[in-house]
Structure formats: C-alpha cells, structure tokens
Structure 1
Amino acid sequence: MNQSVAKALQLLDLFTEEQPEWSLKDISKQSGIPKPTAYRLLTTLESGNFVFKMKTTEHDSRYRLGLKLLEMGQLVSEQLEVRKIALPFMQMLANDINEVIHLVIVNQNKAVYIEKVENTRALRLYTKVGKSTPLYMGSGPKLLLAHLPIDKQREIFREVGNKQLRDGRVIDERRLREELVEIRKQGFSYSVGEQDPYTTGISYPIFDYRGHVISALTVSGLSSYFEGDNLRRIKNQTEVTARQVSRKLGFN
C-alpha cells in the first residue's frame, strides 16, 4: 500500500466514539507521525471532506470526521441491506422461471454483481459475485447507467470511444444515448449477446425509500429460452419481484 495512503488511513482510525475529536498536536503524538506530515495529510483529507477542521481558538484547531465518510457508510449499508432483502425473492424467482438471477449495483464507473442465484440447467453462465463490467455492456449495467445523473453519464460516455461488445459490434454513443432514454421510458432493459454469446438479459430497477434506483434485478439465460410466452412470463415475474424488493426497502 502507498505509504501516504497508509498514514492517512492510520489517522482516520484515531477517531472513535469515545474520542471523536483531536487536535493536530495530539494526532501527531498518538500516531507517531511528525506534525508537518500529519498536517499535510489532514489537509488532503479535509479537501475530500473525509475530515473537517474546527477552529476553537486563534491558535488551536481540532479535527472531526467529515460527512464524506457518512455518505460512504450509507452506501455500504444500502448495498448490504438490498442484498439481504433481495436474496429470498431472487431464490423464489429462480425457482419459478429456472434462469440465473443477478443483483447488480454501481461502484465507481463499473457495474458490480453482488448476488447470484443459479438455475438448474446443465449449461451455466460464467458469472460470479464480485464480477465487475462496464456500465454500457449488458442489461443490468445499462439499466443502472440509464438512471445515473447526466454528468455521471457523460463521464461514462467518455470511456466508450470505439469499445466493442463480445460479438464484435462497436458501441455507438448516439445509439447508446437513445437506448438509455428508451430504458427509462419503458422501465426495463433488454440485451442480447452483449456479455456472453447466445444469451439474453432482462433487468428491472430496484428503488430505495427515496425513489432512487440503487440496483438492478437481472435475469439471464440462453436466448432460445427468452421467446414468446416464456419471455412474457419472465418479464412479468421479474418486474413483480423487483417491485416486491423495492417495497421492502420502503419504496411506495
């Protein structure tokens, strides 16, 4: 680990429920890091809202943890909560339609698969919990991309360039923008062969109590199973399941 990062994390570890506030002098003494170095690290942490500085007197400043850590903690809490709540519903859905069910979230500029329930078919999809993929590839990632703020979407678009899908198709930014608009309009995302050949993915959004899309409930399987009445049944039951999970998270 980078030494500066390690030292910055060491400083953050000093803040506890018993001692939520520290002076620069005490931080330096407790951590064993020289005052100039500790001050430089704290200034960097302050600029990122990881700590904030309170001036108690003209010659004394004290530090507390910043709101950025609260924001990050809330994000982790939500991710753990949605995974815990969604899993039994995912298992029921998998039993009903016998397809692979995934739960997908956004992490930085990637889509990350945080839960998976298998089907009983002999041919399995190569996915695993923890897998990350671009936000412009696959039904779950694209559904999440469609619900990101515009400025974040622009950031992702800058990564697209002449990237290709697994089947060799070049990603067209204009077409992708149009597809994201359509996803928001129709309320679900649909993809064929974008991550694995001969597979189809269908995804519906899961909302939190604020009405924000926090994850995608994704059904994936061989495209030959995603046709006609079976496709309609898969879409209907996936949508119902996503709504059930959303209600459990406080969404009305």
Structure 2
Amino acid sequence: MSRSLVKAIQVLDCFLEKPVMTINELAEIAAMPKTTVFRLAGGLEEAGLLIKDRKSSHDVTYRMSLKLLEYGKFVSDQLEYSKVARPHMKKLNEEIDELVHLTIMEGYEAVYVETVNSSKPVRLVGKVGARAPLYAGSAPKLLLSGLDDDEVESYLNHVEFNKFTPNTLDEKEKIKEELEKIRERGYSISYSEHYQATIGMSYPIYDYEGKMIAAMGVSIPYIDHSKTRETFILSKLERTVMDIWKELGYTGVHPS
C-alpha cells in the first residue's frame, strides 16, 4: 500500500478522536508536518471523504463527510446478510451434502464470499474470494439478471467474452434470453458453463427493500446430477433462501 494512502487513512483516523478540526489540530493529533496534513486533507476533500467549512480565511475546519457513512452502511449490510446466511448454508449443506455458496456482485464481477463444502469423496470445493464473470455460472447470471435492462446492455457492450467450456454463453442475445428466463422463474441454473462437468443452481437473497443483494447457490458434480436430484436441491434451496428473506425483513412475493 502506498505511503500516501496510509497517511491519508491516518488523517481520517484522527476524526475518531475529535469530529471537527483545524489543520493545526489535525497535524498535532496525526503527528505529521502541517504541510503534509494540508495536502492530504485537500486530497480527501476532493475525493468527497472530508468536508471543509470556511468561516473566514483564518477559521477553516474539516469534518468527515456522509460518504463515509455510505461505506459503513454497505459494510454493515454485507456483514449482516453474511451472518444471517451462514447458519442456513450450513443446515442446507448438512441436508444435501453438496457445495453451498454465497455470491455478491462487486463491480462487474461475481465474488464468492461464503462457502460450505461437501464431505463426499468426489466433490466440488468452493474458494472464498474467487471471482467469475457475470455471464457464466448460475450465481453470476442470477446477479446479472437483477440489473435493469440499461445496466445489462452496458455490461454486455463492454465485457470481453471468454469461452470457458463449450456451454459458456458468449453471445449477447442468448445471454439476454437467458436473463429473461431467470427473471420469469426466479432462479438460475448452469450446466457446465463456467467449470466443466459442474451443475449449478442459485436463488436470490433479497434485503428488506426487495433489492437483490446476493445469490445463494449449490454446485454439484455432473456425475451426481439427475432431474430428480436437481428438483430436490432446488426445493431445498428455495426453502432456505425464503427463511433468509424473512430474517432480513423481506416480505415480498417470490417470483415463481
């Protein structure tokens, strides 16, 4: 991490001790030269993280902006639904003994933030922090389907498609058709689209406002797949996410 960034964070930390400060006060608490603090405060103000209040040329103070509150709310929400989802994921894993994962959208990628692995000898293993494009796999496609049409169009116009397997969707119109199917039925399925010989099924996680904030999915080896097994897992997965919705305060009607 660059030294300037570290120092900027140290300046922000000073506001945990005192909410409104002059440059002199900041320099004293941060134990940095006044010129350095002045430069860092200017950069933080430009980034929208600090607010400068100027009453006169000799009376200038700084305070944290509400943008930091937005960051805090995002982190708090993320921790909340991960904390709520984790025990439900474990319970589902115990019932079906398959890989269960929780995925969020970060930028224009899907990121796996929670996984519970199967105990079977032949099994799939999920890695927290793994990323995937939004057009390949059940959870990524589900997250993509949660965007409005303009956002989807923008994404499809700028993304570079890679053919991970013969089943990977890499044509815009086919992806749009798939997204419509997902929206209609309320869940997503992937047949070896991102990883070969892997079947994925995902349902959305909604917050109290009805906003899709994550996708909960189950992935199984192709050798264990059958339509009966697929129907069984989808039923268990649907029941699990609906329990999570209730805890998060979502009371809307399930699309299916």
Report the TM-score, using the length of structure 2 for normalisation.
0.87
- Judge which range, 210-219 or 135-144, deviates more: 135-144
Q: Does the aligned pair in 1 maintain the 2:146–2:212 contact within 8 Å?
A: yes
Q: Cα 1:169–1:231, aligned 2, differ >3 Å: closer, same or farther?
A: closer
Query: What SS is found at the alignment partner of 1:93?
Result: helix
1:6 matched to 2:6? The reply is yes
CA contact (8 A) 2:54 2:60 kept: yes
Counterparts of 1:22 and 1:177 in 2: how far apart (Å)?
A: 52
CA shift, 1:102, in A, is: 0.5
* Conserved? CA contact 2:168–2:192, under 8 Å: no
User: How do 1:98-247 and structure 2 match up within 5 A?
Assistant: 98-149=97-148, 152-154=151-153, 156-167=155-166, 169=168, 171-247=170-246
- How many percent of aligned residue pairs carry the same amino acid? 37
> What whole-Å deviation, never above 9, does each CA across 1:154-210 have from its counterpart, x for those lacking one?
553354224222448461223223322332222111111122211111100011111
User: For each residue in 1:13-48, what CA deviation from the matched residue of structure 2 results, as whole angstroms up to 9, or x when unmatched?
Assistant: 1111x4112212322333344444433332332233
Q: Secondary structure at the match of 1:13?
A: helix
Compute the displacement of 1:66 (Å): 1.7
Instruction: Give distance in 2, aligned partners of 1:136 and 1:64.
Output: 42
Counterpart for residue 66 of structure 2 = 67
Alignment-mate amino acid for residue 51 of structure 1: L
Question: What residue in structure 2 maps to residue 47 of structure 1?
Answer: 46
Q: For each residue in 1:188-241, what CA deviation from the matched residue of structure 2 results, as whole angstroms up to 9, or x when unmatched?
A: 111111222111111000111111111111010023433222211211211111
Counterpart-to-counterpart distance in 1, 2:204 and 2:243: 11
Q: Does the 8 Å contact 1:225/1:231 carry over to 2?
A: no
RMSD value, Cα: 2.3
Task: Give the secondary structure class of the aligned counterpart of 2:14.
Answer: coil
Deviations 1:75-102 (A, max 9, x none): 2112222122112211221222222110
More moved, 222-231 vs 111-120: 222-231
SS of aligned partner of 2:170:
coil
Indicate how the Cα distance of structure 1 residues 59 and 186 shifts in structure 2: closer, same or farther if over 3 A, else same: farther
Note if contact 1:160-1:173 (Cα within 8 Å) is conserved in structure 2.
no
The TM-score, its normalising length taken from structure 1, stands at 0.88
Identify the residue that residue 79 of structure 2 maps to in structure 1. Answer: 80
Change (3 A) 1:7 1:185: same
Distance in 2, matches of 1:12 and 1:52, equals 12
Distance 1:152 1:60 in 2: 45
CA change 1:68–1:181 in 2 (3 A) is farther
Letter in 2 for 1:5: L
For the structure 1 residues 134 and 162, does the alpha-carbon distance in structure 2 shift closer, same or farther, using more than 3 Å as the test?
closer
How many residues get paired? 251
In terms of mean alpha carbon deviation, does 211-220 or 50-59 score higher? 50-59
Q: Tell me, yes or no, if the aligned pair for 1:94 and 1:100 is still in contact at 8 Å.
A: yes
Distance in structure 1 (CA, Å) of the matches to 2:199 and 2:47: 41
Deviation digits for residues 35-84 of structure 1, max 9, x if unmatched?
A: 44433332332233222222344532222222222112112112222122
Aligned match of 2:254 = none
Structure 2 distance, partners of 1:40, 1:143, is: 44
CA–CA distance in 2 between the matches of 1:156 and 1:34?
45
